[in-house]
Amino acid sequence: MSGACRSTTLTSDPAARLFVALDVETLADAEALLDRLDGVNLDVNLDGPGPSNVVAPGVKIGTQLFTAAGPTAVEHAQKRGRRVFLDLKYHDIPNTVAGAVREATRLGVFMLDVHASGGFAMMRAAADAATKAAADFGVVRPLVIGVTVLTSLDRKALPLDLGVAGSVESHVLRLAERARDAGLDGCVASAREIGLLRGALGPKWVIVAPGMRPEQAQLRPGGDRGAMSGPSRPKEDDQARTATPRAAISAGADYIVVGRPIIAAPDPVAAVRAVLDEIASA
């Protein structure tokens, strides 16, 4: 962990632990989805006794929407009161990544990520840039987390595509430990590695789990083929290491990211509520 404080203390409220992936083609598509999801705001008290705050699931803005709409996508989500996980997976030389993290921090995002495979110096530069930028701009420092092994990869792919011997679990742990040593706040990993990570890195290490597949069959990608049509919503499921939201939270995930099972559902609001029910019951 770096010297800076975390952006927030973890709450047990289900909505605060969910990020909906806005993996859509245009800003208009994102706005339409957010219009529908405004119905799942929940009244909870995050600060103990006193007035409650309205909390809504956060949103993940990745490379597709950010390439199409740029920082405007972040700003529009924030105006709706959404916490933003900026999922651009920075992976470049340290100076370039530091500059990108500085601008992401200026935007006021809640969390951002870099590829842990970018190396110690790059990760250290990212952590330091977030701390300095937060002080310079007078904003809350975002969580800076490291992407370990993409959930589309499995053990067969490690040696073939990455030249990495050994298991996925051992490689995830190795990258996460380097991320910790470099000053990052946590990592992205599949639910299958959460137990190992939590045991090795402790309760303060932030773990974000993508690749979620809800228990209700009708919410799974492919469960409603009609809902999966269109260029933004491919019919194929390219995730190799998946889990249910309940399993991920039970294993020790701090946050989960759910995309296609929500945005491709006939009723996204019902899909979100089903995921929140899984989180609450974990």
Q: Of all helices (H) and strands (E), which one includes residue 154?
A: none
Range with the poorest average pLDDT among 30-39, 43-52, 79-88: 43-52
Maximum C-alpha span of the chain = 56
Segment 98-139, tens digit of pLDDT: 999 999 999 999 999 999 999 999 999 999 999 999 999 999
d(CA 257, CA 208): 7
**In contact, 107 and 74? CB cutoff 8 Å:** yes
Segment 212-269, tens digit of pLDDT: 888 774 444 544 433 333 333 344 555 556 779 999 999 999 999 999 999 989 999 9
Residue 3 predicted with pLDDT over 60: no
Q: Which residue of the set 60, 79, 89, 235 is catalytic?
A: 89
Q: What is the mean pLDDT of residues 263-281?
A: 91
d(CA 266, CA 211): 20
In this prediction the pTM is 0.83
Pairing of β 206-209 and β 186-188? parallel
Q: How many other C-beta atoms can be found within 10 angstroms of the C-beta atom of residue 75?
A: 13
156 as an active site residue: the answer is no
Q: How many other C-beta atoms can be found within 10 angstroms of the C-beta atom of residue 159?
A: 11
